Amino acid sequence: MDWKLAHRIAGMAANQAHRDLEIDRTTYVPVYRALGTAGLIGMAKSMPRLFGVYLSAADDGPAVLLNSGLDITGQRHTAAHELGHHRLHHDTAADDELDRSITWGDGTWPDHEKVAEAFAAWFLMPQPAVLAATQRVAGERSLQPTHAYLIGRALGTSYAGTVRQLLNLRLISRAAASQWASIPPSKLKRELTGGRPVAGTAHVHVILPSTVDEVFHVDVGDVLVLYIPDAHFGSSPELTPWTESGKAGYAPAVAVTDELTSTSTVTLHTSTSHEPLALRLARESCRSGIDDIWP
């Protein structure tokens, strides 16, 4: 099976899963809730050599085991991949290649893994959600690598995976996808913060006039950069001023603190509005253990 056929099968399966599991296809997909709705037992633990494991009904499932050592986007993708095994009625499968970028597309993937991998892309990044996020972050402008990064933030997906899905949806050319894939996300994060480096795996979320009404899925240490003229963040224990945010020439920026435990609404103040704007935050952290794997 080639990847084109795998994506065709997976796209149809993902659409059916969205319908059956009552998923809104226009926005951020709650993959852990979907796993619970699908009736899978879930657990996350440290597994140095595994992404995840799917246990079929024949092996006392259905159940999924996720690697708690993955970052948030990697764990979300793996959860969707294991859901794909379940929805496609696959046998028990262990996903043991810890760097998908090395082997992706090189012809070594077995058919059931190709389809499950493609399912994860279409489940987390359905066309309506990608188009809506693209419109919010880019408007009518030509897509750029930073837009792909921000689309990934809106959908909770990796930069590399988002670039591949933009190609699948024919929103960028194959040449652009190849070029963008070589850009490290750290470079894009620095560009979005005006040249300021961002530590480790923390993500950057840009608040635009077109995105202020959205829910921002963030974790502790993530940076929020305000791209609204004459606006500033209100005081909140969930946010702390970020490095050099007060210097001239830099957009206001804050970092998320561990005071954010689930969801919260913080305020933005602008010179053009008497009433503060409400900014909605939802904490999306890596899952660990069994009690908190399904929210």
Q: Would you place residue 102 in the very low, low, confident or very high pLDDT band (cuts 50, 70, 90)?
A: very low
E strands of 78-211, at which residues?
A: 93-95, 204-207
**What pLDDT, in 10s, does the model give residues 230-268?**
899 999 999 999 975 555 557 899 999 999 999 999 999
**What's the rounded Cα separation, in Å, for the pair 36 and 294?**
6
Nearest to 13 by CA among 63, 66, 80: 80
pLDDT at 30: 96
pLDDT at 154: 97
Residue 260 burial (CB count, 10 A)? 21
pLDDT at 273: 75
SS3 state of residue 222: coil
pLDDT at 158: 96
Residues making up the chain, counted from first to last = 295
What CATH code is assigned to 3-124?
1.10.10.2910
DSSP 39: T
State how far Cα 108 lies from the chain centre.
26
**What pLDDT, in 10s, does the model give residues 122-163?**
999 999 999 999 999 999 999 999 999 999 999 999 999 999
CB-based contacts of 106, cutoff 8 Å, min separation 6: none
**Interval 12-24 mean pLDDT:** 97
120-147 CB burial, b ≥16 within 10 A, e <16? bbbbbbbbebbebbbebbbeeeebbbbb
Q: Would you place residue 100 in the very low, low, confident or very high pLDDT band (cuts 50, 70, 90)?
A: low
Nearest to 172 by CA among 224, 220, 134: 134
**What pLDDT, in 10s, does the model give residues 66-87?**
999 999 999 999 999 999 999 9
Map out the domains of the chain as residue ranges: 3-124, 127-183, 200-283
